[in-house]
A and B are shown apart, each in its own frame.
Chain A
């Protein structure tokens, strides 16, 4: 398991490739990858940038707990979770969840579950900078959005 926080832009595909170099790919029939990027719109408003606040100390530990609980539930061979913190610009990657398993259903279901739990349990908060320069806190992550 690898859980990482980045305060600068990161390339999710490079992280996946890097990890695969050390994995026995001949035994891993499935990889499920989710990459979440910052949009330049939200709730009908143009968004210029985002600040991702987190809880130093707790956030990484929470991500590790979420991954460990997924590893206990599904037969997974590797997991990679990466999340941005700090100032983010549109099109930059916010989150990567990558899960390797022998079989597709474990990989797919674990990836989806880890992502949902990151969105609803890990202590991150988004503050948006709008086109008029005003800022607003994102109030909630609703299911499916």
Chain B
């Protein structure tokens, strides 16, 4: 089982790719942990996160098989 990660908009440009996939390490419990694990840095300010296509928070738990999306503040409408 893996966690599939997606990046959108400016964040995808900053990260340099649209997606990542990783097996969940034992040290990763939350979306914020997952960001730190993948990028070796704290989550950027105003980072938004969705888990399985629903809004979540950086302290929301993640599990194997989840789809986790990171994105900047939304600007629709």
Contacts and interface: CB of A to CB of B under 8 A. Distances in A.
Nearest to A124: B76
A137 B77 contact: no
B10 A125 contact: yes
Interface string A118-131: 11111111110000
A139 interface: yes
A55 B50 contact: yes
Interface residues of A, number: 28
A57 B69 CA distance: 12
Contacts, number: 76
B71 A125 contact: yes
Interface string B30-62: 000000000000000000001001110000000
Given A57-B53, A58-B53, A61-B53, A139 B75 contact: yes
Contacts of B50: 55, 58, 123
Nearest to A127: B9
A57 B13 CA distance: 21
B1 interface: no
Contacts of A83: 76-77
Nearest to B9: A125
Nearest to B53: A58
B74 A137 contact: no
Given A53-B8, A55-B53, A58-B53, A124 B71 contact: no
27 contacts: A52-B76, A53-B9, A55-B8, A55-B53, A58-B54, A58-B69, A94-B77, A95-B77, A115-B77, A118-B76, A119-B74, A119-B75, A119-B76, A122-B74, A122-B77, A123-B8, A123-B69, A124-B76, A125-B9, A125-B10, A125-B75, A126-B75, A126-B76, A137-B10, A137-B13, A137-B72, A139-B75
Interface of B: 6, 8-10, 13, 50, 53-55, 69, 71-77
Q: Which 3 A-B pairs have the closest CB atoms?
A: A124-B76, A119-B77, A125-B9
